[in-house]
Structure 1
Amino acid sequence: MRNHYQLLKRSTLGAALALCFAGGVQAQSNTAGTVSGRAASGDTITVTSSDTGFSRTISVGQDGGYRLSQLPPGKYTVTRKGSDGATNTRDVVVNVGTASNVDFVAPSAGDAAQLETVTVIGTGAINPIDVSSVESSTILTEEAIDRLPVGRDTTSVALLAPGTVRSDSFGNVASFGGSSAAENAYYINGFNVTNIRNGLAYNEVPFEGIAETQVKTGGYGAEFGRSLGGVVNVITKRGTNEWTFGGSAYYTPNSLRSSFRREDLGSDGRWGLVDAEHEQDELIYNVYGSGPILKDRLFLFALYQGNKTETDLYGTNFTNLRRGQFDKSNNDKGLVKIDWNITDSHVIELTAFRDREETTRDVFQLLEPWSKRLGAFQGTQSFVTGGDNYIAKWTGYFGDNFTLSALAGRGEYRNASITPNTDCPFVQDNRPGQPSRRGCAVAAAFSTEDAGDDRDAYRIDAEWVLGDHTLRFGLDREEINSIAKNESSGGISFTIDPVGDAPLPPGTIVPPGTTAIVTAREFSNGGEFSTKNQAYYLEDSWQISDTFLAYAGIRNESFENLNADGIVFAKKDDTWAPRLGFSWDVNGDSTTKVFGNAGRYYIPIMTNTNVRLSGAERDIQTYFVFDGTFSGGRFDTPVLGQQIARVVQSTGVAADPRSVVDDNLSPLFQDEYILGFQQQLTDKWSAGIRAIHRKMSSGMDDYCAYQAPHDWAAANGFSSTPDDEVDGEITSEADAIGEGTAHCFLMNPGQDLSANIDINGDGTLEKIKIPASALRLPTPTRTYNALEFFFERVWDGKWTMQGSYTWSKSIGNTEGYVKSDIAQPDAGLTQDFDFAELMENSYGYLPNDRRHALKIFGSYQIADEWRIGANLIVQSGRPLNCFGDFPEGRSKEKTLYTNSSFFCDGVAAPRGTRGRLDWTRNLGLQVAYEPKWAAGLWAKLDVFNVTDESTVTSVRERQSPRNRHLQPLTWQAPRSVRLSVGYDFSL
C-alpha cells in the first residue's frame, strides 16, 4: 500500500505540475481538458468553474475511478462528497488537451485514507509529468507568455517548444521535427485554419485574445491528421462572471532599432555585411471587454486590435533591380467569443474573428543602389491577406460517461494584390551599367482581387467511458474553394541578359556577334478549384492497471481534388493511419514516467497543385537576339531581333484530369516512433529525454520529363521518328508519350508511372505503364532522428526556468512539400523529381538539419512590483549547396532548368557539402513593472537580440554571375526594443 506522502505528491503533482506544458492523448479534446482521479465507490464528484459557475457532477464507479472530460479550460474547484456527508475540495487549473489528476483516496484496493487539502503552486511548467499522456506536447498559457520576451505571434510561441526551428525562406513559419514548414496544421478553438494553398500560412486571432497555445511536436493521437510536422492548437479567451475591461499598446520604434543589414561585394571578392538605411515603425493597440450577459449562463468576450506599421526599404535585388519600397499597413482585427451554458449538460460556443491585413506599397526607382535618392515613381500596389472566420460548437454531456460535440466553421484567407498599370509589359534589364527597369509596369505579374481560399468544415467528436476504457471517436469533413488567377503585366514580360547569363534552352545556337538576349515570357494561370478532405477516427485509452496506460487509435482519411472545370483529377480513399502508445507511471506517484508511441501520418494534396497542375496555364518563353534598341514611349519595350529559340511549357488549355495524375497515386505519409522518460527531481523541478525517429515512407511530386519516357517508348514497340517537331505537330508515338509526360504528372517517384496519353493525336487517351526503371527516379526519402533533453522549474510566484536541448539529424533526398534551399513554395510541385538528372547527388543533409538547438527561458520576481524575464535560443547553422548547370551532354531533357542540378562548375556537388551557415544566438530580455499604487496597470520593456547578432540565415545557393552564388539573402533581425503598457480593471 502506498504511503500518505506518495499520495500527497501524486495529487500535488498531478493537479499543479501537469497543467500547462503537458499533452494528453488519453481521450483529450482539441478544445477542452479533463479532471480525473480516484475516490471511494459511491462518492459524488462535482467540478465547478470559479469563473463561470459551470458545474458537473458524477458518481464514482465501483473501481473507484472518476473522469469529467470536455471541460472548458479554466480554474475549477473539485468537491468530493462521501456517503457520510463529509466533503473535501481541491482547486485545479484545467488546460486544453490535459488531464488534471485529483485523488481523494489511495489507488490501491481497500485504502480509504483521505488526502489533506493541497494548494496548487503554479499555473505553468514546461513538459511536466502527465502520466495520462503519450504524446509530445507543450502548452503555454497567456500568463506564461506575458512573463517572457517573445514575439506576439503564434510562430514565436511555437518556437519555444523542443524540436522546432524557424524557416529560412518562407517568412514567419516553423519547421517541426525535420519536416518542411508547409507540413503543419493550425487550429483555433478546434477549427482548422491552415492555409491549404501551400501550407505556409494560417489565420490568426489577435494575440491579446489568446488564452493558451498547445504545441504538439509529435506522437499526437488519431483525432489529429493532415500534418507530418506538428500541430498548433490555439484556445481563445472567454467571458466570466466578472465584467472586466482593459487596453494595451505595443510600440516598436525605428529610433530604438539597430541598423538593418544588407550585403556588399568587397574588393576581395567576398560578400560582407554593411548597414542599410531601411526603417520600420510598428504600433499595435488593443481594447477589450469581457463579462456576463446573463450570470452563470451567457458570457461575452470582445476585443479590437489596431495595427499601424510603416516600412521603408532601399535596395537592390539579386538582378540589380534598384527599388525604393514604402509599405504602410493599417489593419483592423478583432475577436468576439460568446459562451452559452444552456444547462450544465449543454454548452454552445460561438467565435468570430478577423485577421484581414491590408498593405499599400509605393514603388520608386533608385538613382543609386541602396541609396535614398529616389528616381521615377513606378506606382502603388495594394495587398490583402487573411479574412473573416466563424466557428460554432455545441457540447452535450449525457450521463456520467458520454459526451458529444459538434463543430461547424467557415474561414477565409485572401491573398490578393491590386496592381496599377497592368497593361504595361514588365521590362527588366540585367546588363551591367544599364537602368534595371524600363517602361511603366509596377510588377512583373498580378493577381485578381478575389484570389484566396474559403474553407467550410464540420466535425463531430464523442467520448464514452466504459470501465477502464475511454473510447473516443469522430469524423470531420472540410471543403476548400480556391480562386487563383495570375497574369503577366501587359500579357508579356521582357528580360534582357548578357549572352553568357541568358537561361537559353540546351542546344540553342546563338548567332556570332550577339552580346545580349531578350527572353519574352507569356504567362497566365488560374481558375476556381475545390478540394474535399474527410476523415473518421476511433481511439481507446485503456487503463490496464493503476500505473500503466495503453493507447490505440486508427484514423481513416480521404482526399479529393477537383480541377478548374469541377472534375476530379486526384482522389484517394481509405488511407489508414494507425497510432499506438503507452504511459507507465513507474512508481505510481507521478514522479517517474516511461512512455512511447508509434504512428502514421498523412497530409492532403495542397490546392497549389490544383492551380499549377490542373488549371488553365499558359507558359511560353521565346528568345530573341537583342541589338540594344528600345521602342520608347510609355511601354519602352526592347526591339526584338532574330528569334533563336521557343519553349512551350503549356498553352492555356486546362488539361484532361486523367492526363496529369498517376492512376495509382498514393498521398504523402510519414511514420514516427518516440520513446521517452521523465523524472520528478524535486517538488518544483523535473526533467526528461525523448528519442524520436521519423521517416517519410511515401513521397509525392510532379514528373516533367520528355526524354526518358520517349526513349522507353521508342525501345518498346511505339513508332519512332527523329526527335523534332514540324509546325508544332508531333511526328511519332514516342514523341507523343514524351510530350505527354513533359507537361508534368503528379506521381509517386521511384514507382511505375501509370499515365493516360493521347498517343495517336486523335483525342483519345490511352493508358500506358512506364516502369520505374525507365524513369530512373530515386524513391523520395527523408529521415529525422533526434534526442530531446528538457527540464522545467515551475512558477511559484517567485521564479521559473524552462528549457531544452535538441540534437537532431535530418537527411534524405527531398525536404518534402516545399524546397527551402531555392525558396520554392510550390507545395507538392517542387523541381525535385522533375527528371532523373535533377536527383543525381541529391542525398544528403536537408535544409532543416539543425544539428544542435538550445532553448532556455524564464522569469524572476525581483520585487513586489518588478519582474525580469529572459529568452535565449541558440542553434547551429544549416547545410549549404551549390546548384549549377549540368555538365555538357549530361542531360538531354528539353527544359529551361538553369542552376538547378547538384553539379557545380561541371563537377558533382552532393547535397549539403558546401559547408554550413554560422550558429545563431538570440537573447531577449524583459523588464516588467506592475505598481501596487495602481492595480491593473502594467508596463514592460522588451529587448530582442540584445547583443545585436547579425548572423546570415540564408544565402543564394544557385551558381552563376547573375545569381551571385553565396550572396547573403537574410539575416537575424537587428536589435529592437518593444515598449508596452496596459491597464485592466473590473466592475
Structure 2
Amino acid sequence: MSQSRKCLTTAAVLRRSALAIAMGAALSATPVLAQQSAGSINGQARAGDRITIVNKAVGLTRTVTVDKDGGYVVSQLPPGDYQVVVTRSDGSTRTQTVAVVPGKGSVADFNALDQVIVTGSAVKTIDMKSTESATLLNKADIDRIPVVRDVTAIALLAPGAVRGDGRIGNVPSLGGASPAENAYYINGFNVTNIVNGIAFNSVPFEGIANQQVKTGGYGAEYGRSLGGVISVTTKRGTDEWHGGVSASFEPASLRGSSIYFKNASTDASKWGDWQAMNRPGDFDRRKVSAYAGGALVKDTLYGFGLVQLQNERTRWYGINTQYDETNKTPQYLLKLDWNVTKNNLLELTAFNDKTERNRANFKSPQAYETARGDDLGTDVYTTGGATQILKWTSWLTDDLTVSALYGVGRYSRSSIIPSSGCEYISDERGPEAILRGCSTQTTVGDPAAKDKRTAYRFDVEYALNAKHTLRAGLDSEVYLTHDGSVAPGASKSWWTLTTLAAGGKLANGYTNATGATQDVVSVRYFENGGDFRTENSAWYIEDNWQATKNLLVSVGLRSEAFTNKNGDGVPFIDVKNTYAPRLAAAWDVAGDGKLKVYSNVGRYYIPVYANTNVRLSGRQGDWTDYYQFGGSFSADKLELPALGAKLGDRKMNSDGTAPDPRTIVDPNIKPMFQDEFIIGFQKALVERWSGGVKYTHRALKNSMDDVCAFEGAYDWARKSGKYTEAQARRIGNTIQRCFLANPGKDLTANVDLDGKHELTAVTIPAEALRFPVKPKRTYDALEFTVERAWDKKWSLQGSYVLAFSKGTTEGYVKSDIGQRDAGIGQDWDYPGLMEGSDGYLPNDRRHTFKLWGSYAATDEWRLGANLILQSGRPRNCLGTYAGTIDTQSINYGSTSFYCMGKLTPRGTAGRLDWTKELNLQATYTPRALKGMTFSVDLLNVFNARTPGAIDEQSDNGINSPRPAYGQPDANSVQQPRRVRLMAQYEF
C-alpha cells in the first residue's frame, strides 16, 4: 500500500473512508449474479467515463462506457486479480485493483476520491449485492485449514451443513435436505451422478482454485437441488509460468486403532450395551501431484495441467473375513484458455477421476485377528471417469454478454466379483452377524454398469439500463444409464439366519406357535437391470433491479422439465412447466457498505433420478421364502444351511417382468419440490471483522414416491359401487405392484379394468389409501456467523446453528435403515409403515458449532486449528409392524415405528452422543528454501470415535428381540486420529 499512498492527494481521513467504500461499495452499482465459474466487476463513476479492466495474468482486457446514471458492469470474468482504470473526458485516469471470485460481484467505485488502489485479494468484504447463503473458500484459505482434503469435508465447513449417514455415502446434508438432494458443479458443468444423487465426478484436490457452497437462496439460474449447490472452479494458466510438486503421506503407524463394537454382556437379556474394542487394521495413503501452468502463446493461449499419483492401502479384519484393498489409479486435470479475440474466450476443461479399487478377500480363522485363511478372490470396483467441458464467452457489446457450454461426463460403477457364484449367507442369531460361505459382497453389480451425461447450456446477460440487468438462459441434459444388480450365488438370493421367539411373527405373516424359539432361514431372490434414459431441461429469466440507490431487488422465474424412460425407451415420467419463482432483496441500510439486510423466497424442484427408471420401470424379480433351519451347514466352501419345513407363503415384491409404463405412474404426477424463506443481516464490525445472523425456513410442498397399498385402493373401488369385484381387484393389483405417485394427494391410475388391454383412468381419493400422515419435511434454522479476514497474520471464522428438521419423510434417501433408493424408498409403500413417522428426522442436528482459524507465529511458521461440535441425531426403535391399518406392512420386517409390538414414534428413543473433533496444523515455509512448504496436520486430536448412526432395527419378528439392535454403524463412526505430512515446492 505504500506506493498507492504516494499517489494520494487527499487527506488521510478521506483515504480511509474511501478505502472502506471501495471495499464494500453500496448498491448503487448495477448488479450481476455470475455463473458458478465466473465473477463480475461493477461500480459507479461519472456518466460517459470509460472503464477498462485488465487481467494481465490471462491476457484479458475489457472496456465499457459508464451509463447516464453513473453505473457500469462487466460480467462473465474468469477469477483473478484485475486492474480497473477509469478514463475521464479530460484524459485523467484513476485506478483500483480488485479480486474477482466465482459467483460474486466485485466493486470498483470511482466517485469517492481522486485515486485509490485496493488489493481486493487481501481483504474479504460484505457482498452487498448477494442474497445467497454461500461460503466461498479459495485454495489459500483451504490450505490454512486442517481438514480432510476432499470436496465433502470442505463443504461441511459451511454453516447449515451436516454429515450424512455413512451408509448413504460420503456426502453432506445441506439445509435439512437429504444427502441425495445436492447439485455438484465443476467449472459450471453439472457433475452430479443422478442415479441416486450420492456420487459426483471430482478433480484432483490440488487442482481446485475455489470451492463455493450454496446452502440456500440461490437464484433462478440454479435448479435440480433441494439441499445446496457445491461448485468447484479449477486452477488455470496465467501469463507467468508457475508449477510445482506436492506430496502428502498419511502413515498407518501414526493412525489410531481400528475398532469394532461388542456387547458388554454375554447375557442375551442384557444385549445392547455396545462398547468399542480395538482390533488390527490400518489405512495408509500417499499422494504425489505435479502441475504447471502458463502462457502457451503470450496473451492468447494459456494452459494448466496436473497429474496425481496415489497409493492407498486398507487392511480390514472382521469377525470371520478380512480384506486387503489397494488403489493406485492416476488422475489428471487439463485446463486451456484461448483468447480468440479480445471479446471472445474459449475454455476447455478435461479431467479424469477414475478410481479402481482392488480388494483381496480372505477367510479369518479367528475373529478380528490377522491370521489368514482361504483366499476368496480379489474384487475390483471402478468408479468415476473422464469429463470434457467446452465453454464459450462473448462480450458482444458493453451491455450484452453471452456464454455457451457443452460437456460430456462419464461415470463408471463397475464391479468384478470372483466370488459371485457363492451364496451370501448371514448368520444373525447372535449379537454379531457372521458371514458364512465364500461370498464377499451382498450384491453383484453389472460389470458394465456406467452412466453418461451429455449437456449444454446457453446464458445471456443484458444491461438494459442503470436500473435493470436482465439475465436468461436454457440448458439440457441427457443421462444414459446402464445398470443392473443381482444377489450372489446360483440361487441369486440372500440367505439370512435369525431366531424367532415363541409367539413371534414373520414378515410374511407366519406365527411361531411351537412354544419354543425357532431358527429361521429367509431366502430372498433379487435381480434387476437394463438400459435407461433420463432427460432434464430448463429455462430461466431474471431481472436484477436497482429499485433505489441502496436497494437491490432480484425477480426470477425458472421452469424445468423432466422425462424418464424405461428400458424400451418409452417415457413413464414426462413433466413440463414446473414453474419456480424466485424473489430476493438486499438493502445497504446506511449506504456505506457496512450493514446489509437481505431476504429471499423461492421454490426449488429436483429431478426424478435414474434409480427410479431402474427399480420401477425395469425388469425386477424380488421375493422371499422362509424355512425352518435344518440345523447344519454343507461341508463345502458354500456352507449352505440345511432347510427344513417351509414357513408360510412366499412374500412377493415383484415377479421379474417389465410393467407397461403407463400403468406404473400417475399421469398427473408432479416432481418433488420445496419452498424456502430466508431473512438475515451482515454487519461490518471493527477492522476486518464482520458478523451476521440469518433465519431459514424450508418446507417440502410435494413428495414423490412409490405406493404399494392394495387394500385401501381395493376396498374403495369395491365399496364405490362403480366397479365389479374383479375390476376392484385389478385396481388394487395395479397399485400393489408399486405405483409412482404423489403421496398425500389423490392418485390417478391407468387400469386394465376388464383384462382387454384397454386402459381406463381411475382416480382414487387420497384418504382411501389410509395413510395416517401426509408428506412433511420442515427445516427451521437460526444461524450466527463471525469472521475475521486473513491479513497475513491471523484469521478466524466461526458459526453456531440452532436447527430443527422435522417431518414424516427424509426425502430421496431413508437414513433410518440406510436405504439409498432415491425416489422409491420404503416410505409410503404401505400405510402402516408411516404410522408414527412424524418426528425429528435423521439430519436433525440441533446444535452445531464450527470454528477455525490460523495464526502466523513468525514469517516462517503458521499454526491452524479447526473445531466442530455437533449434537447427535435422533434415535429410533424400529420393529415389525403390529398395528391394524393394513395387513401388508408386516412383510417389511423390522422397519416400522413399532418397537417390540409398541408404537414408538420417530425420534423418541433418545439421541446419539455429541460429535466432537479438533484438528491442528503447523506449516513451515523456510526462507532459505524459497518455494518450499512443509505442513503437518493432526486430525481428530483426541481420537474421538463417536458413532453417527446405529442399527435401529429392534426385532426379528413381533416380540422376537434382534441382538444387533443399537450396534454402531461402522461407516458412520468418526475416523480415528491420524497424521498427514505434506511437502510442496512451487516455482
1:600 Cα deviation from its structure 2 partner: 0.4
1:15 Cα deviation from its structure 2 partner: 5.4
Correspondence 1:558-637 to 2 at 5 A? 558-633=561-636, 635-637=638-640
1:197-220: CA deviations, max 9, x gaps? 111111110110011011111100
Change (3 A) 1:939 1:896: same
1:524-576: CA deviations, max 9, x gaps? 10100010000000001011222111110000100000011100001110000
CA contact (8 A) 1:10 1:589 kept: no
CA contact (8 A) 1:440 1:635 kept: yes
1:123 Cα deviation from its structure 2 partner: 3.7
Q: Secondary structure at the match of 1:820?
A: coil
Match of 2:398 among 393, 397, 400: 400
The answer for the alignment partner of 1:738 in structure 2 is 732
CA contact (8 A) 2:38 2:103 kept: yes
Structure 1 residues 450-459 or 962-971, which shifts more?
962-971
Q: Distance in 2 between matches of 1:668 and 1:252?
A: 42
The answer for the alignment partner of 1:653 in structure 2 is 657
The answer for the alignment partner of 1:492 in structure 2 is 492
Correspondence 1:903-922 to 2 at 5 A? 903-922=898-917
1:356 Cα deviation from its structure 2 partner: 0.5
1:383 Cα deviation from its structure 2 partner: 0.3
1:968 Cα deviation from its structure 2 partner: 1.3
Q: Distance in 2 between matches of 1:434 and 1:278?
A: 18
Q: Distance in 2 between matches of 1:898 and 1:497?
A: 14
Q: Distance in 2 between matches of 1:865 and 1:6?
A: 34
CA contact (8 A) 1:17 1:794 kept: no
1:723-743: CA deviations, max 9, x gaps? xxxxxxxxx433332222111
Correspondence 1:560-959 to 2 at 5 A? 560-633=563-636, 635-644=638-647, 645-717=649-721, 732-777=726-771, 778-887=773-882, 891-893=886-888, 896-959=891-954
1:99 Cα deviation from its structure 2 partner: 1.1
1:142 aligns with 2:139: yes
Change (3 A) 1:56 1:908: same
Structure 2, unpaired ranges of 5+: 1-9, 956-960
Structure 1 residues 640-649 or 512-521, which shifts more?
512-521
CA contact (8 A) 1:417 1:446 kept: yes
CA contact (8 A) 1:122 1:797 kept: no
Q: Which amino acid aligns with 1:982?
A: Q
Structure 1 residues 875-884 or 958-967, which shifts more?
958-967
CA contact (8 A) 1:859 1:870 kept: yes
Change (3 A) 1:354 1:812: same
CA contact (8 A) 2:830 2:889 kept: no
1:466-516: CA deviations, max 9, x gaps? 111111100000000001111222242252424407983343266858943
The answer for the alignment partner of 1:233 in structure 2 is 231
Q: Secondary structure at the match of 1:661?
A: coil
Correspondence 1:332-411 to 2 at 5 A? 332-411=330-409
CA contact (8 A) 1:239 1:291 kept: yes
Q: Distance in 1 between matches of 2:149 and 2:438?
A: 39
1:90 aligns with 2:90: no
1:386-441: CA deviations, max 9, x gaps? 11000000000011100000000000111121011433333344445999444443
CA contact (8 A) 1:260 1:275 kept: yes
Correspondence 1:423-502 to 2 at 5 A? 423-431=421-429, 436-467=434-465, 468-489=467-488, 490-500=490-500
1:578 Cα deviation from its structure 2 partner: 0.4
CA contact (8 A) 2:500 2:512 kept: no
**Residue correspondences, number:** 955
The answer for the alignment partner of 1:41 in structure 2 is 47
Change (3 A) 1:796 1:785: same
Q: Which amino acid aligns with 1:423?
A: G
CA contact (8 A) 1:11 1:102 kept: no
Change (3 A) 1:798 1:121: farther
Q: Which amino acid aligns with 1:39?
A: A
Change (3 A) 1:188 1:835: same
Q: Distance in 2 between matches of 1:699 and 1:768?
A: 21
Match of 1:550 among 548, 553, 569: 553
TM-score normalised over the length of structure 1: 0.93
CA contact (8 A) 2:98 2:121 kept: no
The answer for the alignment partner of 1:728 in structure 2 is none
Q: Distance in 2 between matches of 1:738 and 1:344?
A: 66
Structure 1 residues 435-444 or 878-887, which shifts more?
435-444
Change (3 A) 1:833 1:947: same
Q: Distance in 1 between matches of 2:946 and 2:425?
A: 34
Q: 4+ runs of 1 displaced by more than 6 Å?
A: 3-7, 718-721
Q: Secondary structure at the match of 1:955?
A: coil
CA contact (8 A) 1:148 1:926 kept: yes
1:27 Cα deviation from its structure 2 partner: 3.0
CA contact (8 A) 2:185 2:231 kept: yes
Change (3 A) 1:895 1:124: farther
Identity %: 45
Q: Distance in 2 between matches of 1:465 and 1:258?
A: 58
1:624 Cα deviation from its structure 2 partner: 2.7
Q: Secondary structure at the match of 1:741?
A: helix
1:888 Cα deviation from its structure 2 partner: 6.4
Q: Which amino acid aligns with 1:377?
A: D
Correspondence 1:309-348 to 2 at 5 A? 309-316=312-319, 322-348=320-346
Q: Distance in 2 between matches of 1:292 and 1:755?
A: 62
Change (3 A) 1:734 1:131: same
1:608-634: CA deviations, max 9, x gaps? 111100011011222233323455445
1:631-666: CA deviations, max 9, x gaps? 544545334443332122212211111111111111
Correspondence 1:18-417 to 2 at 5 A? 26-106=32-112, 114-120=113-119, 122-123=121-122, 125=124, 128-169=125-166, 170-267=168-265, 269=271, 270-316=273-319, 322-417=320-415
1:830-850: CA deviations, max 9, x gaps? 111111111111111111111
1:700-730: CA deviations, max 9, x gaps? 1111122222222222237777xxxxxxxxx
Q: Secondary structure at the match of 1:611?
A: helix
1:889 Cα deviation from its structure 2 partner: 5.1
TM-score normalised over the length of structure 2: 0.93
Q: Secondary structure at the match of 1:713?
A: helix
Q: Which amino acid aligns with 2:506?
A: L
CA contact (8 A) 1:926 1:943 kept: yes
Q: Distance in 1 between matches of 2:149 and 2:433?
A: 41
1:260 Cα deviation from its structure 2 partner: 2.5
Structure 1, unpaired ranges of 5+: 107-113, 317-321, 722-731
Q: Secondary structure at the match of 1:774?
A: helix
Q: Distance in 2 between matches of 1:6 and 1:668?
A: 55
RMSD: 2.2
CA contact (8 A) 2:881 2:890 kept: no
1:9-55: CA deviations, max 9, x gaps? 67645655799xxxx98332222111111111221111100312211
Q: Secondary structure at the match of 2:200?
A: coil
Change (3 A) 1:550 1:889: closer
Q: Distance in 1 between matches of 2:885 and 2:821?
A: 26
Q: Secondary structure at the match of 1:239?
A: coil
Structure 1 residues 970-979 or 960-969, which shifts more?
960-969
Q: Distance in 1 between matches of 2:500 and 2:927?
A: 71
1:522 Cα deviation from its structure 2 partner: 2.2
Change (3 A) 1:911 1:42: same
Match of 1:516 among 519, 525, 545: 519
Q: Secondary structure at the match of 2:131?
A: coil
